[in-house]
Amino acid sequence: MTPILSVNNLYKRFSGLVATNDLSLNVMPGETHALIGPNGAGKTTLIAQLQGELAPDSGTISFKGRDITQEPPHRRSQLGMARSFQITSIFPQFTALANVSLAVQAQQGHGFKFWRDAWRDPALNGPAMEALATIGLDHRAQIVAEDLSHGERRQLELAMALAMKPSLLLLDEPMAGMGRQDGQRMTRILSGLKKDYAILIVEHDMDAVFALADRVSVLVAGSMIATGEPQSIRTDAAVKAAYLGHRS
């Protein structure tokens, strides 16, 4: 099977810091692939390079068989790559429905034309409601985003990503800042998405990682030290020494 995402010998340096060190990674169609590692390992830097927000110094990134190393973020999004951020990125003064409707509008190639009242257009808010229903937030569609709980805002951001009709989701710590109950809810939501999307997830919640991932890659100091099925990673001596055995 051909990988939906293929990263080959990626390298990124910031002055004297090597943030990505000859890194290679494959994500297969329909796979949930978790990327773990200690703080400062280079996980978010890698995601930024995959999304096109940060250019690698060398190496290649291929998506659905196409070299996208030089493609800008909006082009990668059009090709079917959607990202959710470590820090929630929504429009706080708009309703949940309006937020997702604007994402639908962007996916259709019209941009964020606020003056068009996107959330009143059935062609936009219909798909938006579908995305909200997928992540269990349709009953909160008319709530202003700033009045949603933290967990609901993370769900909303995921709905906005789904509205882009992606084939690959890049999820940068979707459980960040969540309590146990919200984290378990998000884990259930992501588990329900596994059958429809390839997912690359960066996450510190190891319970979520081992519940969701088909494979796990471990990044330490910009280098990939191991990739394998969750159980093999859990028992890998090098991984335990570098990360799992030292989690706070």
Instruction: Indicate the domain borders of the chain.
Output: 12-80+166-248, 91-165
Question: pLDDT value at position 59?
Answer: 97
Question: What is the model's pTM?
Answer: 0.89
CA quadruple 203, 207, 209, 212: dihedral, nearest 10:
-130
Given this model, what pLDDT does residue 119 score? 55
CA end-to-end distance (rounded Å), the chain: 38
Residues listed for the chain: 248
The predicted pLDDT at position 244 comes to: 62
pLDDT at residue 246, rounded to an integer: 52
Per-position DSSP letters for 156-197, written without gaps between them: HHHHHHHTT--SEEEEE-TTTT--HHHHHHHHHHHHHHTTT-
Query: What pLDDT, on a 0 to 100 scale, did the predictor assign at position 86?
Result: 44
Residue 39's pLDDT is: 86
The whole-angstrom separation of Cα 44 and Cα 14 is 14
Q: Can you give the C-alpha Rg of the chain in angstroms?
A: 18
Task: Tell me which amino acid residue 77 is.
Answer: S
pLDDT tens for the chain, 248 residues: list them: 899 999 999 999 998 899 999 999 999 999 999 999 988 899 989 999 999 999 999 999 999 999 999 999 889 988 999 987 544 578 899 999 999 988 888 777 655 455 455 556 777 888 999 999 999 999 999 999 999 999 999 999 999 999 989 999 999 888 888 888 999 999 999 999 988 999 999 998 889 999 999 999 999 999 999 999 999 998 898 888 876 655 53
221: buried, middle or exposed (CB in 10 Å: 19+, 13-18, 0-12)? Answer: middle
User: Spelled out in words, what is the top-level CATH class assigned to the domain 12-80+166-248?
Assistant: alpha beta
